[in-house]
Amino acid sequence: MSSQALLEFQALTFERDDWPLFSDLSGAIKVGEILQITGPNGCGKTTLLHILATIQPINVGTLRWKGSDISQCHQSYLADVAFIGHKPGLKLSLTPRENLQWLSKLQPLNRCTSAEALARIGLAGFEDVPCYTLSAGQLRRAALAVLCMTQARLWLLDEPLTALDVQGIADLETLLLAHVEQGGAVALSSHQALTNPAVRTLALDAMAEAEL
């Protein structure tokens, strides 16, 4: 593997009870690239992202972070990864600002203040309303505001474009590009094509669909 690989996964096999999702999947997320995981519904994109984020344990295979096995450097890996899943991960009764504030206690979010982050993601004026009054797209923007603030090098994003309007998608793409240009890396799943030049796609086989 190239020396630039941030996260490598080797011979990943994942099966749920008696349903093999993917077997012997290898690859790497390299510095300066956006890895778009594509594939039909149910092919295992979410599962793969959960595995990369170490939320879901793997059955077989290894994960290597900057060359060393992930179980050896789990803490430092976690300090350097930002994960945003299907669910926004915000407390609905708190405001976006409060949400970002407590998240910054857990993760190294100090590239900018929460107000700046919210303004950049198009939520200026909504900093101090409770999150349950936000629309679907606004809520997703609030979740993505973390990305403006984080110092993590690796971003793992599960369908980040969901619910975003055209402007929102453009904003996010700018953000991704800036991140990879500064030496970061992104892995995201999406069914929509990105316009970004740094995108490399990883197509997951549709085992589930193929079998039918």
Determine if 137 is a binding residue for ligand ATP (CB under 6 A): yes
Determine if 41 is a binding residue for ligand ATP (CB under 6 A): yes
Determine if 136 is a binding residue for Mg ion (CB under 5 A): yes
What is the nearest approach in angstroms of another protein to the Cβ of residue 201?
Answer: 25
* From the list a copy of itself, Mg ion, another protein, none, partner contacted by residue 93 (C-beta under 5 to 8 A by kind): another protein
Binders of another protein among 47-106, rule CB under 8 A? 53-57, 75-76, 78-79, 81, 83, 85-94, 98, 101-106
Task: Tell me, residue by residue from 89 to 108, as one string, x for binding to ligand ATP by CB under 6 A and - for no binding.
Answer: --------------------
* Contact by Cβ (8 Å): 126, 96: yes
DSSP character string of the chain: --TTEEEEEEEEEEEETTEEEEEEEEEEEETT-EEEEE-STTSSHHHHHHHHTTSS--SEEEEEETTEETTTSHHHHHHTEEEE-SS----TTS-HHHHHHHHHHHS-B-SS-HHHHHHHTT-TT-TTS-GGGS-HHHHHHHHHHHHHHB--SEEEEESTTTT--HHHHHHHHHHHHHHHHTT-EEEEE-SSPP--TTEEEEEPP-HHHHT-
Stretch that binds a copy of itself, among 29-37, 133-141, 175-183, 196-204 (CB under 8 A): 133-141
Other Cβ atoms less than 10 A from the Cβ of 150: the count is: 23
> Closest CB to ligand ATP among 15 and 69?
15
Determine if 45 is a binding residue for ligand ATP (CB under 6 A): yes
Q: How far apart are alpha carbons 26 and 211 in whole angstroms?
A: 22
Name the site residues for a copy of itself (rule: CB under 8 A): 16, 39-42, 45-46, 86, 122, 124-125, 133-138, 140-141, 159, 162-169, 191-192, 209, 211-212
Q: Residues interacting with another protein, by CB under 8 A?
A: 15-18, 53-57, 75-76, 78-79, 81, 83, 85-94, 98, 101-108, 130, 132-133
